[in-house]
Amino acid sequence: MKTLQQDLINGVKNPMCEKCWSYEKLGETSMRMTSTNRKSPEQIQKEIQEKKLKYLVIDSGNVCNLACRTCSPWSSSSLIKEFQAKSQWLNKKNWFPFHIKKTNLDYLIAEDYSQIEQISVLGGEPFQNLDHLAVLETIISQGHADKCELNYSTNATVSISNKILAVLNKFKLVTIMLSIDAVGRPFEYIRTNGVWDVVTTNVDNLLQISKKNPNFNIQAHPTISALNVLYLDELLQWYKNNQLEYSVVFCDGTPEYSFGIFNDQQKKLIVDQLVNSQFDLSSTVQHINSCKFEPADLARFEQEIAFTKEYKGLDIKEYLPKLTRLLELS
């Protein structure tokens, strides 16, 4: 961490921050930019000299009601049994001892939050995992919540409880990031176990809350993958209809759902659709063009969709017909 800090001070692009550098190259807003662009050079220099905790990421645990295709048991408890079954299906040893994890409260509630500016709460599903509220209540009791911004990532399938709202209302600004990658049937395949009608009800509720609370802000943060790339127009139109700002992340952590599954002909057809979209999808086009076809990724994709059909009863042809038609092109 000290090496990273020194590199950033010296203008050296440390590879630990490669994801931010790559997103900025594509014209997307990175976490680094979000954290630094609103600060003056003088303020940044002051923070360099006075090293106090400014930004905190709270892991709320991996308890989650969804079993998203692009996720893993490290982030979703609903995938633990599925990954174990998949190992047997593939005749492979279960290589990770997955387990339920919760927020590590002991050291977090003992922290010095006198200079805290921003907190991000991740999951799992934070609206299910409520242990992390003890940390937020500690910051409130220390008298620092009113100068601290709070970011939540939620899959929007769990309604926000009054207990959470009572805590969030104490903070300077609350931004709730919706992890919604598609609408309707495509959503229900990608965000497995999710029900689209439940999502729309919960989002409507959050939008009503934000209208009544000036410190609430609702945004979207979709993961763009091979699964939803042909359905982005419908998704972005839904964002527009609900006046939701958004920033994207690309699915690189699970190669079987990355753009590496597409050959050159298929990539061209995808790019042609994105270029002709009413929305600006230039960063997605750049990312797709930078990806190389990987036969191993395609083979893994075919295994994954076959297993998903057998284990979850989800036939990709019924949920993502545009994608399956594209993949039939050689």
Label each residue of 218-269 as H, E or C. Answer: EEECCEECCCCHHHHHHHHHHHHHCCCEECCEECCCCHHHCHHHCCHHHHHH
Terminal Cα distance for the chain, rounded: 47
Q: Is the pLDDT at 321 greater than 80, yes or no?
A: yes
Residue 97 or 281, more confident? 281
Q: What is the mean pLDDT of the chain?
A: 93
The confidence band for 96, taking pLDDT boundaries of 50, 70 and 90, is: low
Residue that is written with structure tokens 């729309």 in the block = 200
Q: The tokens of 165 are what?
A: 């709202």
Q: Quick one: average pLDDT of 202-222?
A: 96
**Residue 29 counted as domain residue:** no
Residues 6+ apart with CB under 8 A from 236: 246, 277, 279
Q: How many domains does the chain have?
A: 1
pLDDT computed for residue 227 by the predictor: 98
Q: Quick one: average pLDDT of 27-51?
A: 81
The confidence band for 93, taking pLDDT boundaries of 50, 70 and 90, is: low
What's the whole-model pTM score? 0.88
**Residue 110 counted as domain residue:** yes
**Residue 44 counted as domain residue:** no
**Residue 213 counted as domain residue:** yes
Report the range out of 77-86, 96-105, 308-317 with the highest average pLDDT.
308-317
pLDDT computed for residue 46 by the predictor: 82
User: CA 72 to CA 69: how far, in whole Å?
Assistant: 8
Query: Domain with 297 in it: what CATH number?
Result: 3.20.20
Q: Is the pLDDT at 24 greater than 90, yes or no?
A: no
pLDDT digits (tens, 9 = 90+) for 171-190: 999 999 999 999 999 999 99
Give the other-Cβ count within 10 Å of 26's Cβ: 16
pLDDT computed for residue 212 by the predictor: 93
Residue 214 is part of which domain span? Answer: 52-327
Provide the 3-class DSSP secondary structure of residue 173: strand
**Residue 113 counted as domain residue:** yes
pLDDT computed for residue 8 by the predictor: 85
**Residue 310 counted as domain residue:** yes
pLDDT computed for residue 252 by the predictor: 82
> By percentage, how much of the chain surpasses pLDDT 70?
98
pLDDT computed for residue 248 by the predictor: 93
**Residue 109 counted as domain residue:** yes
Q: Confirm if 66 and 155 have CB atoms less than 8 A apart.
A: yes
pLDDT computed for residue 44 by the predictor: 81
pLDDT computed for residue 174 by the predictor: 97
**Residue 105 counted as domain residue:** yes
pLDDT digits (tens, 9 = 90+) for 72-90: 999 999 999 999 899 888 8
